[in-house]
Structures are given as structure tokens and as C-alpha cells.
Structure 1
Amino acid sequence: MKSGLFAVLPLLAIPAFAAESTASPPVIVAWREKPPYYYTEDGVEKGFMLAYGKEVFAAAGIDAHFVREPQKRIWANFEMRKPNYCSLSWYRLPEREAIAQFTIPVYTDPPHTILVSPASAAKVQAHASLASLLADPELTLGVVDGVSYGADLDERIARAGNQTMRRTVPTTNMILMLAANRFNYMLADRNDWGHMRAHYKEMASVIQYDVPDLPPGLKRYILCSRTMPASTIERLNQAIRALPKPATPYK
């Protein structure tokens, strides 16, 4: 009797194991710390694009697990073609198209703005255009290294006649260095600046300056690994079409 029972047990275990192996794992959706788009505050996840991203995946009926990861790790995962992997929300650039799939646009940024150190107001505001500003060899432009300002601004920064101070730091740190007069000016995401100005009293001395030839804001997209099925991208696209776009918090 015992031998018959033990002979049946392995057979009973096989269907259960098979059911587990065929269950689809959740899609990992990575986001980096970039307030007010996505960030943590007092241990709570916040951000208007993080909330919108969760709505998109839910509306698409896709089981998703949202995780915070450093920017370099996100791009390394795309380069390695990590399966079941997406990220919120990025500009569309040629080098990114080679390693990731893009949904339709989820958001359009407001134009970048110019931030000026307290001691440099007269020097910077003597220029009535971005073209003139970028051509001045007496000015030092601060650049957050390792990020894109969009293809147009990236190219113009690369060709600038300014001296350039590049630092691999968060934007917050770069603006604090600007407030301390470490360099003359920088370009900034208007939403980033609006959030930081409201949360850091040390930035009160920084001057915002706009010129007419700042390029229009760029579109942002959800990116997924090259191994993601096309059907999943289409489900995301359908959800994006159906949902209202997120409102811009700062203009």
C-alpha cells in the first residue's frame, strides 16, 4: 500500500510544477530619482510620471513591479537585453533606439530654462539669445555629465565656445554649485527647477533667465527591452491613447 502511494506522488507534483513554470513573471519597470517626475520623500514613492506610469501598465492589463534603479544600471540592463524590462520615461535618441523599444509619447516637456549664478547676472543677461550665450568664451557653462538635454541642446553644448564644467552629480547638486558661484550658468529642465526652487531655500539666489531661441520641449516615452513582445508594446500604446496625459506641474 505504501509503495503505491509513493509511486503516485511524483505524478501529482508534475502538473503543479508545470503550472508554476508557465506563469508569466511581472514586467520590471525601472525609474530613476528625478523629482518631480519620480522620487522618494520620507520613504514614500512620489512623482507625477511615476503615478501615470502605474496607471498605464494597469490599464494595459500588464502585471508590473516598479523599482528604483540608478540611471547607469537601467541603460546597462537595456544593453544586455534584459527580458521583461521597461523604464519610465525617456527622450528618444538614436543611440537609445539601438537598444530599446519605444512606446508612443507619454508626455511633452516644457522648454528648458537657463539658470544663472548670483554673481553672473549681468554677464549672462547681456546675451539676448542662447546662440550668443553659448558663443561667449568668457563664460563657464555647467553640465550634468551622463544625461541628455535632448539631441538639439546636446549638439549645441558640444559645439559651445564657453568653457565647460562637467560633473557627474544629481541636478540638485549642480544647481547648489551654481548658487555658490562655481560657474556662470547652466541649462535645466523646467520641472526639475520648479520642484527644487520650492524645496531648497539655498536656491533662492539662483536667477532664472529665458531667451527666445530655446528649443521646444521634447517628448518622453516608455522604453522596453528589445526582447519584449510587440504585442506588449501595442497594449501599452492602447492604454496611452486611452488615458489623459499627465499635467505639467511647473511652467
Structure 2
Amino acid sequence: MKATTSPRFARITRRAAFTAFAFALAGLACSLASAAAHGETNVLRVLYMERPPFYRTEGERAGGLLVDITRSVLEEAGITPEFESMPSKRILEELQHPGKAVCSVGWFKTAQREAWAKFSLPIYRNRPLVALVRRSDLPLFQDRHSLASLFADKKLILGRLEGFSFGESVDALLDEGSPAVYSLAGTQRQLVRMLAAGRIDYMLVSPEEVATLLADAGLAPSRFSVLGLRDAPSGNLRYLMCSKAVPDAELRRINDVLARRAMPREP
């Protein structure tokens, strides 16, 4: 026997289906609006330099201590990071471009940079700077146990990355002492190889990066010595540094996550 459907029942069924569809559509619209309002689908371009153990490319993936912290913070804030490696000089150029919404990992905050960049809350605090020298040159550094004494010796060449800051207090000592400086538009790995080759006399580094830096450059630790510096300030705070095009609301979400975590605090 052939089943039949009454016109009234068909109308009720169509009405119920339409109502269910309308509710589903409204729910989807609300979900999309909420996601947009909270930035849950945001993608942010994040630049980093090659400076192990803080930032490095591992296979085809960005890694390192500060990259991993940044990835975790951004994802908790509902932001998908797209990491890209490039030299520090190019990073600074990208950040100063008025139309590019981009951030970079692990920079020091200075008054000069605050003129053209936005900063998150701190993501890390370094240990105090040390000088990395060739062990064969230790006699040259016999009486050089402070930044001031190093910078006062015009015969010793400091190697540094172009556009790189050691923090405001050390930068001020550099300006005051006016030592011989070689600035490299490259990577920390290239710089330490220049130290090994005798083209510069010393580098200023964070103690936590020495072992990884030498291993990454293929250099034997026995060839180098680390000198403590009496007047080195307490470790610098590192931040996410962002272009002015990054929305304030996005930076607030990042800072909300950092504030909930046991991160170092500004004085």
C-alpha cells in the first residue's frame, strides 16, 4: 500500500525544517561574529632572527626558547603566528613600514624604538651580559673586567649585529666610551666565526646562548673564554616588538595572556 502524506503534515514539516535552519543560521552568524570580535581567527606575521638558543629554524619550523614562548602566548590569545626568519636589519625595516602589521620576537625596549614600534609586556629576562673572547687573547683582557674598561680600550674591536641593542644602559656606555666597533648585517653565527678568525676581538652575549652559539657555528668551546663584567646591568627584559599597524586590541589580548603567566615584570 502506498504511503501518503497529508498537505497539513507537509506544511508543518516544511515549517519545522525552515525554523531549524533559521536557528542554525543565526547560531552560525553569532559564532562568526563572536570569533571576529575576539580575534579568534587572526593570523599574525612574526619575524625572528637566527640566534640560538633564543630563535632558530629547526628543519622547516621556527623554534628556540623565545619562539616557543611566543607561539604558546599567541595561540592562547587566539592568534595564529606565521613565523619568518630574516636578518635583524631587515626585521627593523619591516617593522618600520607603516602599512605592515607584523611583530618580532625578543627585542629590547628602547626610547628610540618606542617612537615607531609597539611593545608587549615582557616575555623573558636575560642573565647579565658577558664578554666572549678567544682564549689565546686572554692576556689582552687581563685588566678588562668591566664594560667601561672594555669600551675605553680603542685597540679592542667589539663585534655586534647592525641595528642591535644591548639595552639602554649598555648602549649609553657604548656611546660614552666610543670603542672600535664592527657592525655586521648578518647573523650571530657569522659574528662568532669572525671572532674565531681574529677579525674582531670580543662579543657581548647572554651566558645562556654561548654553548649553543659555538656548537651551531661548529667551533670548539676550548678555543674561547667567557669574561664576567662587574658593571653589567641585571639581565635585560625582552619583548614582542610590533609595528604601529598591529591593532591595539590585538596587543591587549597578547598582554592579557602574559599578565596571567609567571612572566618577568617591568620595574
Bin the TM-score by the shorter chain: 0.7 to 0.9
CA contact (8 A) 1:87 1:223 kept: yes
Shift in CA distance, 65/157, structure 1 to aligned 2, threshold 3 Å: same
Amino acid at match of 2:234: P
**How far 1:161 moved relative to its partner?**
5.5
Distance in 1 (CA, whole Å) between partners of 2:147 and 2:241 is 31
Q: Which position in structure 2 is the counterpart of 1:191?
A: 208
Identity %, equivalent residues: 29
Q: Which one of 100, 122, 146 corresponds to residue 117 of structure 2?
A: 100
**Runs of 5+ unmatched residues, structure 1:** 1-18, 247-251
Q: For 1:209, which of 192, 205, 227 is the aligned residue?
A: 227
Distance 2:247 2:200 in 1: 47
Q: 1:228 aligns with which of 213, 235, 246?
A: 246
Specify the alignment match of 1:174 in structure 2: 191
Q: Distance in 2 between matches of 1:201 and 1:79?
A: 35
| 1:128-139 equivalence runs, <5 A | 128-139=145-156
Give secondary structure in 1 for the equivalent of 2:177: coil
1:53 deviates by: 0.7
Question: For residues 175 and 168 of structure 1, what CA distance do their matches in structure 2 show?
Answer: 13
Alignment of 1:70-81 (within 5 A): 70-81=87-98
Q: CA deviation at 1:116?
A: 1.5
**Match status 1:50 vs 2:67:** yes
- Quickly say closer, same or farther: Cα 1:239–1:130, change in 2 above 3 A: same
Change (3 A) 1:83 1:141: closer
SS class of match (2:127): coil
1:60 aligns with 2:77: yes
Deviation string, structure 1 residues 108-129 (Cα, Å, up to 9, x no partner): 1111111112332012022333
* Greater Rg by CA: 2
Count of residues paired in the alignment: 226
- 1:98 maps to a residue whose letter is A
Distance 1:82 1:72, change over 3 A: farther
1:127 to 139, 144, 159: 144
Q: Deviations over 1:87-123 (max 9, x none)?
A: 2121101221111111111111111111112332012
- Secondary structure, in 3 states, of the residue corresponding to 1:65? strand
Q: Which moved more, 1:139-148 or 1:110-119?
A: 139-148
Q: In 2, are the aligned partners of 1:108 and 1:220 still within 8 Å (CA)?
A: yes
Could you say what the CA RMSD is over the residues aligned between the two structures, in angstroms?
2.5
CA distance in 2, matches of 1:87, 1:166: 21
TM-score by length of 2: 0.74
Mind listing any 5+ residue stretches in structure 2 that lack a counterpart?
1-31
The 8 Å contact of residues 192 and 214 in structure 2, kept in 1 or not, is answered as no
Q: How far apart are residue 146 of structure 1 and its match?
A: 2.6
The equivalent residue for 1:113 is 130
Task: Quickly say closer, same or farther: Cα 1:139–1:34, change in 2 above 3 A.
Answer: closer
